[in-house]
Amino acid sequence: MSNRAAIALLMRQAGHGRLAVLGMLMVASSLTEGIGLVLLVPITRLVAEADDGTIQPEWLAPVAKLPLGWLLIAVVALVSLRALIVYASNESRRALDLELANRLRRMVHEAILGANWRWLARQNSADHASLIMLEADRAAGLMDQALSILAAAVTLFLLVAAAALISWQLTVMVVVLGVAAAFVLGLLRGRNAQEGEAYVRAHSELQRLVSNGLKHLRAARIVGAEHELAQNFARASSRLVELETRFFRAGHETLMLFQVIAVMLLAGMVFGALAMFAMPLAIFLPVVAIIARIVPLAGNIQQGMRGWRYNVPALASVQSLIAEARAQEEFLDHGAQAVTLEHGLELSNVTLRYHGRERSVFDGLNLKVAQGSILAVSGASGSGKSSLADILAGLVVPDSGEVLIDGMALDATSRIGWRRNVAYVEQEPYLFDGTIAENLSWGRSEVDEAEMWRALEMASAGFVRQLPDGLATRMGEGARQLSGGEKQRIALARALLGAPQLLILDEVSAGLDQDNCDAIIHSVGSLRGQCTVVLLSHDQRLIGIADQIVDLDRQGTAP
């Protein structure tokens, strides 16, 4: 992303009116500072020299006639006014930074939520989390960096103008030396940008390892892969430290060089003022004060531009993901009527291919499922069980062929309506750190306790009645307070709470003991005739209750 494109995007998000107000505050702050420093000329003359009736520059003569007390009061008033303006400017900039970060996070999140499932299934959720939580904040910080650079540049310009009004000869000499110094520092920009980009990539990689490693820590412990996780993390962490060291070392080297150049600039200025121009003290000291203020401002601009180059890739990543997700936006009609299943659903000559795969997942698949029956889908990992479930649920649109509900083919609108009557229970259900009641009612506006108890009984989750706090029992992070079988039955109860017409159960008996598996089998079997159930499973105990079996390894069906 070019600097111009980044600035244009940030300005659109921030709003031109708000930026105009901030600009006026920055100009006012710079003017007050410049005027205060110019007043040092008559003050220095009165303090350090005899009053001979002359003053340079001549345009300060009326001010020089004022008493010292009035001049000091004017300086105090200007500094106080500037402090108030800077406070208002800083508060406004901070509020803008927070709002922009919030807006970018929401834009990314909403774009991801609105994307079609087929695209989402190919994405890395850890990368998305990094963009939302880290990159969006870095991208939002660009606006504050741009404003900091602009504020420093405006102040620098006005201070140079103030110095020129006092002594244009000395100011020209300082500007020439400053341009030469800026050229030398500019040679380091390319290296800083490269170090910054490598550092960002390493940071994202480490975050991905942390997210995935902690998420699958149980599986790692079971297979004894903790050492491998630790090695991968240590390697990525060391790489991050190495790149971070190089990145900040480049900044420190630049700062060191800047300080050396600054003192050389100051020495040259002193020599020119005293040896070449024989400048009086009343002129020299105010100019020195202005130059002393200009040096850190130039440093702030240099550091701000370095930070800008470091953070621009974050804005580019955020913008790229938003654009890509919006290009994959799913048609959503929230006013679509629910589609009901009364007779059966059917797949007619369905073909599905995924980008990057040579073979089709399905090629002319035909399938009929009677309403109220139980269908078991088996097959090796990667055979298409989840893809078939996604097609049946209306999440994925096949490349060709049709999904029919009671003979009616689903289109963009009816697909949304059909999903309202579908429930999906995953192998690792999403359960958050809240009460059982809060987890059961997740995604629903109003659910009374009687409905919850009825769904729990249907899911063979009557154990909740024996818990000390019943429905008010907190489940802990990831529902760690419950066993695997208890979590599955809570998730099943949540699915049944919506009275679905199609219930998809994805490996719900995997890893369960006999008692919990029997409870799940009993619950699923009791749903026959009430709703259509699709079982994705390798468990022969669960498959045994099915009315129909689809073996995707052979893409055939058996009664």
Domains and CATH numbers, the chain: 3-327 (1.20.1560.10), 344-558 (3.40.50.300)
Map tokens 């229970």 to a residue. Answer: 425
Both tokens of residue 478? 């990831």
Closest listed residue to residue 503, CA positions, set 383, 403, 376, 409:
376
Ordered DSSP codes for 195-230: HHHHHHHHHHHHHHHHHHHHHTHHHHHHHT-HHHHH
* Cα(133)–Cα(102) distance, integer angstroms: 10
All residues at 6 or more sequence positions from 469 whose CB lies less than 8 Å from its CB, including other chains: 435
pLDDT of residue 277: 67
Distance, in Å, from the CA atom of 495 to the CA atom of 106, rounded to the nearest integer, reads 28
CB atoms within 10 A of CB 344: 16
375: part of which helix (H) or strand (E)? strand 374-378
CA–CA dist 74, 76 (Å, integer): 5
Using alpha carbons only, what angle is made at residue 90 by residues 85 and 96, rounded to the nearest 5 degrees? 125
Query: Per DSSP, what are the bridge partners of residue 423?
Result: 503
> Is residue 337 within 8 Å of 416, Cβ to Cβ?
no
pLDDT of residue 14: 80
Tens-level pLDDT at each residue, the chain (559 residues):
677 888 888 888 888 888 888 888 877 887 777 776 666 656 665 555 545 455 555 655 666 666 767 777 877 887 788 788 888 888 888 888 888 888 888 888 888 888 888 888 777 777 787 778 778 888 888 888 888 888 888 888 887 887 787 777 777 777 776 776 666 656 555 455 555 566 666 666 666 666 666 655 555 555 566 677 677 777 777 777 777 777 677 767 766 776 677 777 777 767 766 677 666 766 777 777 777 777 777 777 777 777 787 788 888 888 888 898 888 887 666 566 777 888 889 999 989 887 767 778 888 889 999 999 999 988 877 778 888 888 988 888 888 999 989 888 888 788 888 888 888 888 888 888 888 888 888 877 778 888 889 988 988 888 888 888 888 888 876 666 777 788 888 888 988 888 889 999 888 877 777 888 888 888 888 888 888 999 988 888 888 888 888 888 765 444 4
Q: Which residues have CB under 8 Å from 289's CB, separation 6+?
A: 37, 40
Partnered with residue 271 across adjacent β-strands are: none
Q: What is the pLDDT of residue 50?
A: 47
pLDDT given for residue 3 in this prediction: 79
Q: 226-271 and 281-327 are packed helices; what angle lies between their axes, rounded to 10 degrees?
A: 150
CB of 488 closer than 8 Å to CB of 425 = yes
Q: Is 546 helix (H, G, I), strand (E, B) or coil?
A: coil
Residue 192 has a pLDDT of 52
Are residues 488 and 520 in contact, defined by beta-carbon separation less than 8 angstroms?
yes
Spatial CA neighbour of 205 closest among 138, 123, 127, 128: 127
**DSSP class of 57:** S
Structure tokens at 72: 């000091």
Helix (H, G, I), strand (E, B) or coil at 236: helix
**CA 166 to CA 187: how far, in whole Å?**
33
Per the listing, tokens 């048609």 go with: 331
Helix-then-strand count for the chain, H and E? 20, 10
Please report, to the nearest 10 degrees, the dihedral formed by the alpha carbons of residues 285, 288, 289, 291 taken in order.
160
Q: What is the pLDDT of residue 373?
A: 92
Q: Both ends of the chain: CA-CA distance in Å?
A: 58
Collapse the DSSP code of 409 into the 3-class scheme (helix H, G, I; strand E, B; otherwise coil) and give the result.
strand
What integer pLDDT is reported at residue 333 of this predicted model?
60
Q: Which amino acid is at 156?
A: L
How confident is the model at residue 84, as a pLDDT? 87
Among the residues of 115-167, which ranges form H helices?
A: 117-120, 125-130, 136-166
CA distances from residue 277 to 273, 339, 349, 511 in whole angstroms, order as listed:
5, 90, 93, 89
Query: Could you tell me the CA-to-CA distances from 334 to 251, 254, 395, 407, 417 in Å, in that order?
Result: 52, 56, 15, 23, 9
Residue-wise pLDDT for 301-340, tens only, equals 777 777 787 788 888 888 888 898 888 887 666 566 777 8
- The pLDDT score that the predictor gives to residue 83 is 84
The C-alpha atoms of residue 515 and residue 530 are separated, in whole angstroms, by: 24
pTM of the model: 0.68
Q: What 3-state class would DSSP assign to 401?
A: strand
400-405 sheet: strands from edge to edge? 362-370, 344-352, 400-405, 408-409
Q: Mention every residue, 6+ apart, whose C-beta is less than 8 A from residue 545.
A: 374, 521, 524, 525
Rounded CA separation 156/261 (Å): 17
